Structure 1
Amino acid sequence: MDDSARMWITTVPPLHPDDVEVVLALDHASQDPGERMTSVLLNRGHEGEEGVFYFLASDLSARYERTADRLSVSVTAPRHLLARELPVLPETLREELSELPGGASDHDRVTLLSRAIATDFVPAEQDGEKQPVLLMGSVGPASLTELFSRFEKGEADIAVLNAE
């Protein structure tokens, strides 16, 4: 699936039906190494509201970048955290992860996911903090409607990532 089918600017009815959010799809069964590692790292979060997981910015974080009419979002993790998790991962995934690029502004972080869409949406800021990015994860690719349906059935999860 291309980025525009895996990133949305929308309201999220299960959370705050009036707030506009940036949502990224995450396929827990993906063969993409960054997506697979993101799924592994999701186990390090702690649950807030039912089904919503929060993370330390030092573990997983998102970064917004605007170029002309495109909004890009990258999800990054620190290299040292990946190194700690690598010994328990399959060898092929370890090799693929070692080849992932560093973060644009911080080479001690690895870019696990990157999505972009054409939009005029500008993420809100409050007290100098950009609004979080939501990761909606499930097994297999899904449209936004399908992700919401899976979430209601308990077959999808939502993770809230701090954003830069």
Structure 2
Amino acid sequence: MLERLDVLVAWTNMPARVKHDMNHGDDGQRQHLPMRWLPLLLMAAAAGVVAATLMLPVSYWLFGTVGAFSAAAAAVYTHGPLGKPSIEDDERGAALRKDAWLFSLSVLAFANIIGQPALLMAAALHGWSVERVSYVVLAVFICNVIWLNCLRTLYTSWKHSGRAHA
């Protein structure tokens, strides 16, 4: 079984990347490209999961598939323009990183200030069970995590592309 797991890990090419990073360090060869559309797809998928938990009685299998969305959001952030260490940023990069963080927090704060009381009212009006409320809360939490990673990458990608064309 362990050999089969090793084959699966080798298939991802991750051992070669880790070996390269350990031997050569991160010498700037890894590209941190702008990602303008992939974060939007992940954000839509996360919002779809929240909508599914609101409209349908879902089960645990849905949250197992959402784990792939969370991993993809982390990969988008890591390989996006903010994936490099912040110590490498110049003044403009540091300001862009800070602006992306503040933008994503403001969007999430606004969405949660409006959305959380609305969900509370829906749960009270429709008499949802504790199990269904826990599914909705978990879906909203996962959506917040995905949106936090994707909004920062999206903001930086769009600002970075605008600066490149200017």
Instruction: Calculate the TM-score normalised by the size of structure 1.
Output: 0.24
Higher strand share: 1
Higher helix share: 2
Name which one, 1 or 2, has greater alpha-carbon Rg. 2
The structure whose RCO (Cα within 8 Å, separation 6+) is larger is: 2
Instruction: Calculate the TM-score normalised by the size of structure 2.
Output: 0.24
